[in-house]
Amino acid sequence: MTPLADATPAGTLTTPAPLTDAQVAERVAAGHVNHVRRASSRSLGAILRANVFTLFNLILAIAAALVLATGSWPDAVFAVVMVVNAGIGIVTEYRAKRTLDHLSLLTESPARVRRSGADGAREVEVSLAEIVLDDVLLLATGDQVPADGSVLEVAGLEIDESMLTGESRSVRKQVGDDVLSGSVVVAGSASVHVTAVGADSYAQRIATEARRFSVARSELRDGINKVLAVVSVAIVPIALLLAWSQLRATGGLSESVSSGAWRDAVVAAVAGVVGMIPEGLVLLTSLNFALAAILLARQGVLVQELPAVEVLARVDVLCLDKTGTITDGTIGLRDRHVVLPGDGADDAARASRVDGALGVLAALAADPGANATALAAGEGIDQAPATATDAVPFSSARKWSAVRTAEHAYVLGGPDILLGGRDDDAARDTLAVVRSAAGEGARVVLLAEAPAGLPDPDHPLPRDLVPAVVCVLGEHVRPDAEQTLAYFHQQGVRTIVISGDDPETVGAIATGVRSGGPDQGDAPLAGYDARQLPAVADVDGKPDPEQLAALAEVLDEHGVYGRVRPEQKRAIVHALQSRGHVVAMTGDGVNDALALKDADLGIAMGNGAPATKAVARLVLVDGRFSTLPGVVGQGRRVMANMERVAGLFLTKTTYAALLAVAVVLLAVPYPFLPRHLTIVSSLTIGIPAFFLALPPNDTRYVPGFLRRVLTYAIPSGVVIGAGVLTAYLVSRAQGDPTVEARSVATLVLLALALWVLGIAARPWQHGRSWRFWLVIAMAACAAGAWAIPFARDFFALEVLDAGQLTLAAVVAVVGWALIEIAFRLIGSRARHPAIS
């Protein structure tokens, strides 16, 4: 094989020979080709595994298999919840994947390379994936660099590396300098020796590290999983003991096998066990997440993982990448200072001529590949541009452009270039304005008249240029940035601005959008130079705790950082998390990918790099920063409403577990048939929980979801379980048949569970009276189950006599009182403010 060419040493003009077709084929065969994995989101397999192989699904699948083994397939209908729950997650996340796969930064326009053929060197167009190691790549203004390389020949080359480094200012490149894949040519042209392709390139190395999958931490999901973990530990022994007790209640194992009663025993055991699983809570959580994802999609927010909608409701620190988040990455005009001669003789006419010159320069700059600085300098000019008779285009080598109109010639460029070495009054006055503006982190350009006519681009500028207009430029700040930051400050969320730009520039922009919050006052915010931040090294694959603590101390004191490297952004996230903060991170460049992945909530801009969107939990498709408050609102709605209804499900888990254990110890038939639990669960949990979980709720989230829910769910469940067991045993002791005793137990369970529902539906005032009528409607449906003969027969309920009704009423009233006392003494103090 032909030896691979060495990289061109920096500072030399040695140009390697263009590759022949044979050399290209050898490199392709060796794998030295620019083919990379371009998936912008999780694979379909990963989505299926995340939604199918869960602890919840495993428990229900085993229970369903046992019921089906008995031949009683109608009693296995609870497995539908498992299928629906998985389906919601798969469909929603797959739709997000399909959308993300169409959001790509790198265009598929062909690249130009120089290769050798029978007729000598020639330029050819190839796809990005056909570039090979040692190709001579030809770059021009507007191109995105598809592979890493070293500059061979250069003509005013300027590169925008903000996607990689966070530095928004373009970088001028000379022969021998490196260029990195993912950066953009903003001026000039060059030939580049390709030194790294595919997965070996800088951008792809960061992307590979970022692609290590991690899931969003969801307190709601974690809380449910903890409950399921406890249930899963207890479920096997309880199921076996419950099945044994039911076999004993039907006459023993041998008799049950001969009579076939073992099937009823298994079904009863599974019914008792499934009652312990809050399967409806998992389903309702998935439905709520899916609804939030749909509503957010209408606002231009793409949810990659369903639990991510809750995370922003818990965030207390928001890290903002300046470029692409607070600013949109383009240059805009901040101010324009007209420099007048001072005699007042022809000020108006001169100002009009100057505006005309700026207008024509801006018009010329609107052409593709032209200078964006001139376009920004001409912003806001209403009068029609003058007619250009000749022009000198901008060159980064010269640092100026020029235009000649019918009356005058003008030069636009850096003030130090146009007035360099001059010490006259006009130059001193102009440079004073320039220094004042530059001190605020702005970029300044000068428009000057050229009395001698259009300058010659091949000769130095004349020294008689007359300053006309000082244009103060800066990045375009998103119009919604300040308002959005104010919202987060009102919600108690601290904001930290980080950027690869100069700290002074970052501080000026952060001051303008008041990122310091209410305490900022009128004082300007000083940017902290991230090069002075404590270094954080990895120890056994984890950040050093002492170094993280030192970094966290600096972060406590400063809120604006410049010259931040990609690995420092990641360390900042880790340091904040080490202090117990829930951290959100926004960004759009490859340099943000690692920090977004490790943050509790990564938020990518829709026009960001594929690696960034792949690891982000949320993608702002249209790049509007102002959509984030809507995400907060959806997260709060999900968390507050799910906490409201979670108590209903966990109360059921508590009383189901208590009844299962009691039945095992007492060796009596289980108090309910599966259909009894179906009507109780539907009327006191399933149907009302669906309505209670959907309304808007903007109450700020308070940590401790599971602790608060269990604090009032366990006492309520104990009271209900004790009340049901008491009524059931007393009814049997009075000689009532099992079918009637089960009806008494069902009536008591309905009455007590409806009281718990009423507590969850509070408060009922201030436009929430519909909650009261919801409870009344469920009670009416429960009454209808006894009053309507068809429903009574379907649910195997019996008409109760006066004694049985009196027993149920006494137990229910006592239970109501105990539940209310337990709530007022214990539960109300622990409840979330949204449902207190």
Residues with a catalytic annotation lie at 321
Distance of CA 350 to the CA centre of its chain: 52
CB count in 10 Å sphere of residue 718: 17
Given a contact cutoff of 8 angstroms between Cβ atoms, the answer to whether 424 and 437 are in contact is: no
Nearest CA-CA partner of 69 in 58, 61, 57, 59: 61
Backbone angles phi and psi of 824, in degrees to 5: -70, -35
How far apart are alpha carbons 242 and 253 in whole angstroms?
A: 13
459: exposed, middle or buried (C-beta count within 10 Å: 0-12, 13-18, 19+)? exposed
323: DSSP letter: I
Residues 6+ apart with CB under 8 A from 734: 803, 807
Q: 790 burial class (0-12, 13-18, 19+ CB within 10 angstroms)?
A: exposed
Q: Is 789 exposed, middle or buried (0-12, 13-18, 19+ CB in 10 A)?
A: exposed
C-alpha–C-alpha distance, residues 482 and 498, integer Å: 16
**Cβ(324)–Cβ(605) below 8 Å:** yes
**Inter-CA distances, 670 with 75, 149, 795, Å:** 15, 75, 16
Burial class (CB in 10 A: 0-12, 13-18, 19+), 709: buried
Greatest distance between any 2 Cα atoms in the chain: 119
Angle subtended by helix axes 628-666 and 261-274, to nearest 10: 140
* Torsion sign across C-alpha atoms 215, 216, 222, 228: negative
Q: Give the number of other Cβ atoms within 10 Å of residue 602's Cβ.
A: 32
| C-alpha count within 13 angstroms, C-beta hemisphere, residue 423 | 0
**294/105 Cα distance (integer angstroms):** 25
Q: 349 exposed, middle or buried (CB, 10 Å; 0-12, 13-18, 19+)?
A: exposed
Q: Which two tokens stand for residue 813?
A: 């009233």
Contact status, residue 648 vs residue 760, Cβ threshold 8 Å:
yes
Tokens of 245: 């007790």
Strand-by-strand arrangement of the 409-413 sheet: 327-338, 466-477, 443-449, 409-413, 400-404, 390-395
Assess contact for 610 and 105: CB atoms under 8 A.
Answer: yes
Q: For residues 448 and 625, give the distance between their C-alpha atoms in angstroms, rounded to a whole number.
A: 38
Q: How far is CA 245 from CA 262, 667, 670, 735, 744, in A?
A: 11, 5, 9, 21, 21
Contacts (Cβ under 8 Å, ≥6 apart) of 782:
679, 683, 750, 754
Q: Which run of H or of E encompasses 69?
A: helix 55-69
β-partners of residue 619 are 302, 604
Q: Which residues of 149-170 are buried (b: 16+ CB within 10 A; e: fewer)?
A: bbbbebebbbbbbbbbbbbbbb
Residues in the chain: 836
